Structure 1
Amino acid sequence: MNAFVRIAAWGALFAFAITAHAQQAPWGRPDTPISHADRVYAAEQFSNTVSVTDPVDNKLLGVIRLGDPQPMNFAPLYKGQVLTHGLGFSPDGKTLAVVSIGSNGISFIDTATNTVKHTTYVGRSPHEAFFTPDGTAVWVTVRGEDYVAVLDAKTYNEVARVKTPGGPGMTIFSPDGKYAYICSSFNPVTVVVDVASREQVGEVKQPSPFCPNIAVTPDGRQVWFTLKDTGQLVAFSALPPFTVLKTMAMGPIANHVNFATVKGQQLAYVTVGGLGVVKVLRVSDYATVATIPVGAMPHGVWPSSDGSRVYVGLENDDKLAVIDTASNTVVANVAIGQAPQALAFVSGAAASAAADKGLAQLGIAGNTYALTLVDGSGERTHVTLFDQGLVQVLQAAVTGLPPKKPYFIALADSATGGNLQPLAKFMSNPAGAAIVNAAGPIRQLVDKPVTGTRRYIVITDDVGGVPGQVLQHPSS
């Protein structure tokens, strides 16, 4: 995959070599082979950890603990992080910026020591943080409010705010550092901001409000973003007037998008949670060239430094799936922390052997329990229980329901109904899907056969504010 190795006529093809980038902008650089000095990081929101994986061996080295599981993190004097979710890194690979949604914290981790060197707290519910291409600032989308917090990359202090429509979802930069592209999770508009002046210079209409992720093609010419509520993918021009180029249907719970250059072609990799697949699209004509089954609820996605691998976090399976881009197949699965969200492949970020030995182990975070709910037409919903010790977090990746209607996930006396105890009420999105969370002492009811009354997790309709008819039930 190394462009410099593949090119025989160096002089004639030099222009191609310097544009054969594997990594997502703004870190577009010439391809470099994967080495033991590289690391794959994942931010895991239920175990409140950052997993650290060696990409050569596909081996989990350990986790960096940023907080405790439930219910310990409910305490009024609790000081750790909650819902570790977003992940960015500095251009030199020496610093991670890890966003914890529930505690509003940005943890800056030194990759040489695997330790937190500073934590900055911003406004309500930040989502993602990215360094500017020159490494001088970190832009944090504060999704619970209406601005991007700009932090100084040396002092970690907030130095400015960039006003946006309510609910900014994520910021990504053009490779030259001129533009910041900020999609929204609450309003149907992506804005373009001039980085130097921090003034808005353009906007792009989103077909729906909920954009969780945005990326720039390796050549810096296009910007792509996903829409989780409608299952769509949008590509627009990275330069004024920022024209929409293509809108594509991906499937329910379209999550993240990223790029790699493979055999001279720019390819996009899109995680589609409700289908459990990664779709591979050719950037030149937007054609789908492969659909790769990866597992339960693929979320974050990031390429290796040479484009030979693409890494996918499986939110409902606590694994890192490794895709070989030459064959479009999963070649490894690495057990990591609970409910991985954002990922990052960082070249040359390896800590010392002593620092790696100091990483924590998964412990009970390695325990998950899964089941599938079906209706008359087949599999629809994947349910995972994440062991927190005293309680379990339940997450259901619901699909196959009529859109924009209320439903319950509940415990039932039988697979078809009976006495129903609601666990959570939810509304399906325009694609008939939803991510539903609940917490409680649930696992013992579904882990294995028990004596006495057995109970079942089901999805029901809403009849006057209480659970009604069972629509989806366990497959066995």
Structure 2
Amino acid sequence: MASGRWVFGGAVLVLLLALSSHAGAYEVWVTNQSENKVQILDGQSLKIIAEIPVASKPHNVTFSPDFKLAYIASVGSNDFTVIDAVTKKVVKAVPGGKTCHHVAVSPDGKLLLASNPGEHTVMLYDAKSLERLATIEVGKNPAMAVFSKDGQTAYVSNGGDATLSVIDVKNRKVVGSIPNIGKGAMGLVMSPDGGKVLVTGGGENKYTLVEIATGKILIDVVSGKEAHGAVLTPDAKFALVPNRQSGDVSIVDMATGKIVDTIANVGDKTDIIDLSPDGKRAFVTLRGEAVTGDPAMTTGKEPGVSVIDVPGRKVVTKISLGGDPHGIAVRP
């Protein structure tokens, strides 16, 4: 090895080792609301490798199961954009509902479910034709949705009335509503066996763990201030929950529902989170000057992405992006 490779100070060398300690190439997709674009980072170098213009105020990003397509929900233009994730080309902008906020994808990739908080509905689409199949009224201000493992049921977090709507996908109707999951209900993740779902309720600074079969709240836990996003670790033993106002990330044991650790000083206005494929690195968006919602609640001072060493429980670097980053998702 050339001697020039060793000129780094000890702290810098440790940082480089931490950033390169996970295998495999992957991408990190970030929606930037104030700049109306998706910014794509290389997961290893953390450099921007592509920027894709999309519709007004892109909010959240999700992928098809094979990661060949990306779906970008745009709250400003009431639609979602379909992107060929391989070529990085826009395929189509699909009309949605008012303030289209999030697009959930069924496990087989055949159906899409878009949440529209501005009109209290979700819209079901055929993923191939992009034809709208149904508009379903749910609770107040639906934020996000997740499908069951078999794709037969969908669950929708309703931030306005603190409920979780249960949808029969085949018959395209609501068949149940689970109350008291927290005002401002937002992020949700389901256990691999489909038995439990964790829902963040940022308006009450908490999250709940719900038993699907009974609709019973198994545990109701005070988290950091304004719990927002959520993601499961690859082994599904833990959920990582960013707390927007306290700028930290709670680590939740999915078996007990209890917080087992907190990663502090993640950044100003931590928002949505995803993990590298091996689960060793977490990426958390940090808000900028807000273009949606209450500016007093969402405007941050360091717009970008905070990178966390998950085993080490610490931030290793921050990536400055400008604008107002919000949604984030990792593409292997």
* Aligned mate of 2:240, from 257, 260, 269: 269
Partner of 1:121: 95
Q: Are the counterparts in 1 of residues 181 and 207 from structure 2 also a CA contact under 8 Å?
A: no
Superposed displacement of residue 337, structure 1: 4.7
Structure 2: distance between partners of 1:93 and 1:34: 18
Give the match for residue 298 of structure 1: 270
Give the corresponding residue for 1:188. Answer: 162
Percent of matched pairs sharing the same residue: 26
| Corresponding letter in the other structure for 1:284 | A
Unaligned 5+ segments in structure 1 are 1-32, 67-80, 348-476
SS at match of 1:254: coil
Q: Which amino acid aligns with 2:69?
A: T
The residue number in structure 1 matching 2:280 is 308
Map of 1:202-221 to 2, 5 A cutoff? 202-221=176-195
- Give, in angstroms, the shift of residue 108 of structure 1: 0.5
TM-score with structure 1 setting the length: 0.60
What is the aligned-residue RMSD (CA, Å)? 1.7
Once structures 1 and 2 are overlaid, which stretch shifts more, 198-207 or 188-197? 198-207
The one-letter amino acid paired with 1:135 is G
C-alpha contact (below 8 Å) 1:60/1:335 kept by paired residues: no
Structure 1 CA distance, aligned partners of 2:129 and 2:173?
A: 23
Q: Distance in 1 between matches of 2:163 and 2:262?
A: 29
Residue 254 of structure 2 is aligned to residue 254 of structure 1 = no
SS in 2 for 1:229: helix
1:474 alignment partner in structure 2: none
Looking at structure 1, the residues matched to 181 and 127 of structure 2 have their Cα atoms a distance apart, in angstroms, of 34
Could you say which residue in structure 2 is the equivalent of 1:52?
40
Name the counterpart of 2:306: 321
Query: C-alpha displacement at 1:266, in angstroms?
Result: 0.7
**What's the CA shift for 1:272?**
0.6
Matched AA of 1:327: G
Report the counterpart of residue 178 of structure 1 in structure 2: 152
Q: Offset at 1:325?
A: 1.7
Match of 1:16 in 2: none
Describe the superposition over 1:163-196 as per-residue Cα deviations: whole angstroms up to 9, x where unpaired: 2123211111122222211110222211111222
Check whether the contact 1:218–1:260 (CA below 8 A) recurs between aligned residues: no
Quote how far apart the aligned CAs of 1:200 are: 2.5
**For residue 29 of structure 2, what is the aligned residue in structure 1?**
41
TM-score of the superposed pair, with normalisation by structure 2: 0.84
Inter-partner Cα distance in structure 1 for 2:181 and 2:155: 16
1:212 deviates by 2.1
Measure how far apart 1:276 and its partner are. Answer: 0.8
Query: Aligned to 1:256, what secondary structure does the other structure show?
Result: coil
Deviation of 1:207 after TM superposition, in Å, equals 4.7
How many residue pairs align between the two structures? 297
Structure 1 counterpart of 2:124, from 150, 154, 164: 150
Q: Whose Rg is larger?
A: 1
| Contact residue 185 and residue 209 of structure 1 kept, 8 A | yes
Q: Structure 2 residue aligned with 1:87, among 36, 53, 61?
A: 61
Check whether the contact 1:232–1:248 (CA below 8 A) recurs between aligned residues.
Answer: yes
| Contact 1:50–1:337, Cα closer than 8 Å, also in 2 | no
Q: Equivalent residue of 1:190, what SS?
A: strand
Q: Find the partner of 2:173 among 180, 184, 199.
A: 199
1:330 CA displacement: 1.6
User: What corresponds to 1:243 in structure 2?
Assistant: 216
Q: Which runs of 5+ in 2 are unaligned?
A: 1-21, 288-299
CA contact under 8 A between 1:49 and 1:337: conserved in structure 2? no
CA distance in 1, matches of 2:214, 2:73: 32
